[in-house]
Amino acid sequence: MRAVGVITEYNPLHNGHVYQLQQAKALTGADCTVVVMSGNWLQRGEPAILDKWTRAQLALQTGADLVIELPVFYAMQPAHLFAQGGVRLLAELGCESLVFGAEHPDLDFSQLMAAFPSGREAFKQFNATYATLFNAALKTATGQALTKANDMLGFCYYVANQRLGAPMRLIPMQRLGSDHNDTAIQGDQFASGTAIRQAALAGNWDQVERVVPAETLAQLKSNRLVSWADFWPHLQYQLLTTTVDRSGQYDQMAEGLEYRMQDMVQNASNFEDFLAQVKSKRYTYTRLQRVAAAALLQLTTTEVQTAQARPYLRVLGFSATGQQYLHQVKKSLTMPLYTKINKDLRLHELALDYRAGRVYELINQQHQDLYRRPWRFTDNLG
């Protein structure tokens, strides 16, 4: 069997994602579609609107064959590390190709990668946010800047794949519909995840229904929807009661940001107000959200970097095809493969994901790791 990979968040799964799953097999002729999906905390430093098990179920119902969780120590990182984690897991599973959406799929990502100076040394001459640093260095080296989120992520996939010895063929495809950050549902078939989340949280179901599969609509209407607002009291308590020395150890905290965050949390009225007070030209809102999430989950830089050196494969669900593919590649895996969590795993190998899940449970009220086994698409998923 041959497999194609997709790296995603499905926050929530919408019509554009269904189209991508369909095209992934059509473009590659693969027998099995492997999805590496972020868990309950996402790349932009925010909680998923639906938990990882619900989103994995939706993926299986709409075309995925095997769903693997992208661990929190990769999922909640800047684009280059997010991409590194996803590509590493897909390559480990023997995927021959990776299909990803891009605003400009006709870009020569390979050429851009070859011309771009590698390593963080290229950024030291600049004094701005990471995205600005990246594009300034890229523009200097190649004459081309990547200003769209999925184009930049695609570039990072190419870099990650190259560093692994190019085990996969990368296939960009045109991203359909609204821009990644559009906040309103304007079309009758495709919309951004941002717009869909806002409409769902507001209960505008007539709008949501136009741009998501029926299965997603049903889950959004029947589940407790989660947002940063739910966690604000917990974050506020965390920052008010910890020390500056401790908060300075949180992942992606840098350059005295811990002092600013602990000062501004004193009088902030909500999460949005807090971010607005902390915001400066040096940091994007996304970076600040990731730092806030790390503070909430008490993820330290040392913990994250240690965990990144010991990645694993956590199975969230599979179809009959996915189960067959797992059986085919299982003996060649060099990473641990987990289908359930026990006491030893939650204290050691899966400790960070377990912690992230327990915090998410404060709002979701559903077990995220203990007592959970992978979905089997043959088990009456709908």
**Known binder of ligand: residue 133?**
no
pLDDT at residue 379 is higher than 90:
no
Are 209 and 351 found together in one domain?
yes
Q: What is the pLDDT of residues 326-335, one digit of tens each?
A: 999 999 999 9
Q: Is 194 annotated as a binding residue?
A: no
- What DSSP element (H or E) covers 376? strand 375-376
Q: Is 11 annotated as a binding residue?
A: yes
The strand pairing partners of 79, in sequence order, are none
10 is in an annotated binding site: yes
Does residue 351 fall inside a structural domain? yes
In tens, the pLDDT along 102-128 reads: 988 888 888 887 776 554 444 444 445
Residues 249 and 285 in one domain: yes
Question: Residues 170, 218: one domain?
Answer: yes
pLDDT tens for 222-267 read 999 999 999 999 999 999 999 999 999 999 998 889 999 999 999 9
Range of the domain at 181: 3-107+146-225+310-376
> For residue 12, is the peptide bond before it cis, meaning its omega torsion is within 30 degrees of 0?
yes
Flag whether 364 is marked binding.
no
Q: Would you say residue 123 lies in a domain?
A: no
Pairing, β 337-338 against β 313-318: parallel
18 has binding-site annotation: yes
Same domain for 99 and 197: yes
If asked whether residues 169 and 275 sit together in one domain, one would say: no
Is residue 223 part of an annotated ligand binding site?
no
Q: How far apart are CA 318 and CA 126, in angstroms?
A: 45
Shared domain for 211 and 335, answered yes or no, is yes
pLDDT at 195 over 80: yes
7 assigned to a ligand binding site: yes
Q: Check which CATH number belongs to the domain holding 197 and give it.
A: 3.40.50.620
Residue 204 assigned to a binding site: no
41 CB-contact burial (10 Å; exposed 0-12 / middle 13-18 / buried 19+) = buried
Report if residue 113 sits inside a domain: no
16 is in an annotated binding site: yes
Question: Is position 220 annotated in a ligand binding site?
Answer: no
Q: How many domains does the chain have?
A: 2
In a domain, 340, yes or no: yes
Residues 255, 207, single domain; the answer is no
Same-domain pairing of 18 and 86: yes
The CA distance from 107 to 12, in Å, is 28
pTM equals 0.93
Q: What is the mean pLDDT of the chain?
A: 91
Confirm whether residue 324 is marked as ligand binding. no
Nearest to residue 357, comparing CAs of 376, 344, 370, 375?
A: 370
265 and 346 assigned to the same domain = no
Does 314 share its domain with 221? yes
Q: Give the pLDDT confidence score for residue 139 in this predicted structure.
A: 77
CA distances from residue 335 to 77, 162, 311 in whole angstroms, order as listed: 21, 20, 7
> Would you say 57 is a known binding-site residue?
no
175 is in an annotated binding site: yes
Same domain, 178 and 67: yes
Is residue 8 part of an annotated ligand binding site?
yes
